[in-house]
Structure 1
Amino acid sequence: MSHFNKMVSEQLETMEKLLFMQSEIERCQELELELAELQEEAKLESVKEQIIMMKKELHEIQRAFEEQTDEVIRSYQEMKLFA
């Protein structure tokens, strides 16, 4: 597998992680609203902390995805130069 194809494959894996994390955050935010309505303060705090941690992880995944995108673009440009 060429270097370019490998990078694109890795980027797709990162995209899957990013989408999964976004859906998990949305799920937890829905749970957060339900717990707030039920006034389950202890559980609510736990969910809020989990959301904060997942948002940090999501930010790291987004940063990695952006770096991979830059790498893929550079690799593609280099391929075009040497083709």
Structure 2
Amino acid sequence: MDHFNKLVSEQMVTMDKLLYLQSELERCQKIKAELQALQNETDLESIQSDIQKMKKELKEIQYIFEKQTEEVINSYREMNITTAL
């Protein structure tokens, strides 16, 4: 049970990161649209770079989250099998 709780706790931390990064990505994309409207190329390039970095990080965190989900499911199944025996 401790292992399961630890996995769930780790997954919640990852989910917080994921949600934060998604909101930051949305915020930056909004800024990008505003900068495009103002035709400010220098700032636009910088924000595009930030967006690309965040998209990459978001993809990595999503992958970690999926793996953690698999671990949580497997741990839960093992816990139920052990208790059933």
TM-score band, normalised by the shorter chain? over 0.9
Aligned twin of 2:57: 57
Aligned residues: 83
Task: Give the drift of 1:61.
Answer: 0.2
Aligned-pair identity in percent equals 59
Structure 1 runs of 4+ with >3 Å offset: none
Q: Deviations over 1:10-31 (max 9, x none)?
A: 0000000000000000000000
Instruction: Determine the C-alpha separation between the residues in 2 that align with 1:56 and 1:37.
Output: 25
Aligned twin of 1:74: 74
Mapping 1:6-45, distance limit 5 Å: 6-45=6-45
Q: Partner amino acid for 1:56?
A: K
Instruction: Determine the C-alpha separation between the residues in 1 that align with 2:33 and 2:78.
Output: 49
Could you list the runs of 5+ residues in structure 2 that have no partner in the other structure? none
Instruction: Determine the C-alpha separation between the residues in 1 that align with 2:70 and 2:45.
Output: 38
TM-score, structure 2 as length reference? 0.96
Q: Partner amino acid for 1:55?
A: K
CA RMSD of aligned residues (A): 0.8
Q: Deviations over 1:33-59 (max 9, x none)?
A: 010011110000100010000000000
Could you list the runs of 5+ residues in structure 1 that have no partner in the other structure? none
Q: Partner amino acid for 1:60?
A: E
TM-score, structure 1 as length reference? 0.98
